[in-house]
Amino acid sequence: MTAVLIRGAAPYGEEPLDLLLSGGVIVATGAAASTDPLAADAEIVDGAGLVVLPGLVDLHTHLREPGREDAETVASGSAAAALGGYTAVFAMPNTDPTADTAGVVEQVFRLGRDVGLVDVFPIGAVTVGRKGERLAELAAMATSAARVRVFSDDGDCVSDALLMRRALEYVKAFDGVIAQHAQEPRLTQGAQMHEGEVSARLGLTGWPAVAEEAIIARDCLLTDHVGSRLHVCHLSTAGSVEVVAAAKKRGTIVTAEVTPHHLLLTDERAVGYDPVFKVNPPLRTAADVAALRQALADGVIDIVATDHAPHASQDKETEWDNASPGMLGLQTALSVVIATMLQPGLLDWRGVARVMSEAPARIGGLTDHGRPVAVGEPANLVLIDPTASWTVSGDALASLSSNTPFEGMELPGRVVATYLRGRCTAAAGVPAGS
Ligand SMILES: [Zn+2]
């Protein structure tokens, strides 16, 4: 593989410099990059005007394989990830069969490695079949070739307090983390959207904020009691922000994520009953959106995770009540973060790198992603044109599904190229190998 010389790109939007990539790492920067002997026959990439960040890391992706290859595959999801600037994604276990054994997580891990566009790290189910009845073989998944460190029943909440306690205790042995989909099931039976003024107007069954907040509060207390590590998936309400802030203040080892759609869209989108806006947890109010943005800026919320949830058209393009909840996210996440956080001045590029790369890598236990743009570090990078904008079209996305809630929206910032260990995985909107 030849070396790559990126000329004049700006790490974290700061001083532009040259970067020389070879052997999977950044071997030289600045003046030393062009004078290095490896630069002589390097492929030259013009980075003028571009921002370079460490490759993005998504802690919450649904790749649908095995089982729903009509909605997404590891290959199509990996292409979407590379095009979105990601070099690593964590794949949720709500597949068919469930990723609750060493065999299934190894299968997903190998599929990701064979595609080679992004590092795929399987998340293991907490309970057998995600049924919430008995613990899955967490240690077997942790010691498998996939080296699972994140466990979740995402899609469903581990609502049984004793099971949650046992899971938190169990993963301590290998520094694992339980990623909880916080949803009190009894409080959300039949829920269709956020419980509030809009749901009352539309006559749809409400999903009250307290159903999320109560579980997060309980789990923070359990985590304290056990001395373990908790991650809160897709935190969506202002009240949840308060609960996590209080827990962090008293020393709970808890991290939290927010999705791009919860940073941009509100429950008003449900007016019109277009099921593309149906998601779980649901879109909340403008006050919640403001609180989530501020919490991400303040560090109460640690990361942005996409909850990329492809659905085949027969599951999504149906009446609201029967539609599957979920939205695409991998190819739009960075642009939404630029629009909601960078442009309003809530985060700078260092902050974007922190919430979309460094912190998710750390929470997921990765040591070769989310690293600084510096000599000797893995060449996992994304080149971004911060001045470009683009109009989202679900049909044009690499995902096999097209359920983007940002259809027709003009979003700022474009991924120009993504590099995984020095190899270009996507450039100019085209994934490598296609
Ligand atoms: Zn979830």
- The answer, yes or no, to whether residue 232 has pLDDT greater than 80, is yes
114-118: average pLDDT:
98
Between the CA of 157 and the centroid of ligand 1 the distance, in Å, is: 8
Between the CA of 183 and the centroid of ligand 1 the distance, in Å, is: 9
| Residue 155 · residue 127 · CB < 8 Å | no
Q: Angle at Cα 291 formed by Cα 300 and Cα 221, nearest 5°?
A: 45
Q: What's the chain's length in residues? A: 434
- The answer, yes or no, to whether residue 31 has pLDDT greater than 80, is yes
Between the CA of 416 and the centroid of ligand 1 the distance, in Å, is: 30
Q: Specify the amino acid at residue 56.
A: L
C-alpha torsion angle, residues 317, 83, 370, 244 (rounded to 10) = -20
Query: Where do runs of H (alpha helix) occur along 197-339?
Result: 197-202, 209-226, 238-249, 260-264, 286-298, 313-316, 333-337
Contacts of 131 by beta carbon, 8 Å cutoff, 6+ apart: none
278-291: average pLDDT:
98
Task: Determine the distance from the C-alpha atom of residue 407 to the mean position of all C-alpha atoms in its chain, rounded to a whole number.
Answer: 20
Q: Say if strands 230-232 and 254-258 run parallel, antiparallel, or are unpaired.
A: parallel
Between the CA of 154 and the centroid of ligand 1 the distance, in Å, is: 4
Residue 414: both structure tokens together: 């474009």
Which pLDDT score, from 0 to 100, does residue 110 have? 98
The DSSP element (H or E) to which 166 belongs, if any, is helix 161-171
- The answer, yes or no, to whether residue 22 has pLDDT greater than 80, is yes
Between the CA of 422 and the centroid of ligand 1 the distance, in Å, is: 33
Contacts of 330 by beta carbon, 8 Å cutoff, 6+ apart: 58, 61, 77, 80, 81, 83, 84, 86, 89, 306, 308, 399
Q: What is the pLDDT of residues 54-101, one digit of tens each?
A: 999 999 999 999 999 999 999 999 999 999 999 999 999 999 999 999
C-alpha torsion angle, residues 238, 240, 244, 250 (rounded to 10) = 90
289-306: average pLDDT:
98
The DSSP element (H or E) to which 75 belongs, if any, is helix 74-83
Residue 122: both structure tokens together: 């399987």
- The answer, yes or no, to whether residue 328 has pLDDT greater than 80, is yes
Between the CA of 122 and the centroid of ligand 1 the distance, in Å, is: 15
The DSSP element (H or E) to which 7 belongs, if any, is strand 4-11
38-45: average pLDDT:
96
Which pLDDT score, from 0 to 100, does residue 434 have? 73
Between the CA of 106 and the centroid of ligand 1 the distance, in Å, is: 22
Between the CA of 166 and the centroid of ligand 1 the distance, in Å, is: 21
Between the CA of 234 and the centroid of ligand 1 the distance, in Å, is: 7
Q: Angle at Cα 94 formed by Cα 275 and Cα 328, nearest 5°?
A: 40
Average pLDDT taken over every residue of the chain? 97
Between the CA of 279 and the centroid of ligand 1 the distance, in Å, is: 9
Between the CA of 155 and the centroid of ligand 1 the distance, in Å, is: 4
What is the pLDDT confidence band of residue 23, given thresholds at 50, 70 and 90? very high
Between the CA of 42 and the centroid of ligand 1 the distance, in Å, is: 44
Between the CA of 167 and the centroid of ligand 1 the distance, in Å, is: 18
Active-site residues: which are they? 307
d(CA 421, CA 231): 28
Contacts of 2 by beta carbon, 8 Å cutoff, 6+ apart: 41, 42, 43
- The answer, yes or no, to whether residue 2 has pLDDT greater than 90, is no
Task: Determine the distance from the C-alpha atom of residue 365 to the mean position of all C-alpha atoms in its chain, rounded to a whole number.
Answer: 15
Is the overall model pTM greater than 0.95, yes or no? yes
Residue 226 neighbours by CB distance under 10 Å: 18
What is the pLDDT confidence band of residue 433, given thresholds at 50, 70 and 90? confident
- The answer, yes or no, to whether residue 162 has pLDDT greater than 80, is yes
Torsion sign (Cα): 322, 232, 209, 287: negative
DSSP bridge pairs for 127? 135
* Phi, psi (deg, nearest 5) at residue 80: -60, -40
Nearest to 404, CA basis, from 269, 203, 212: 269
Q: What is the pLDDT of residues 298-315, one digit of tens each?
A: 999 999 999 999 999 999
> Hey, is 305 helix, strand or coil?
coil
- The answer, yes or no, to whether residue 432 has pLDDT greater than 90, is yes
Between the CA of 256 and the centroid of ligand 1 the distance, in Å, is: 13
* Phi, psi (deg, nearest 5) at residue 228: -115, -160
What is the pLDDT confidence band of residue 27, given thresholds at 50, 70 and 90? very high
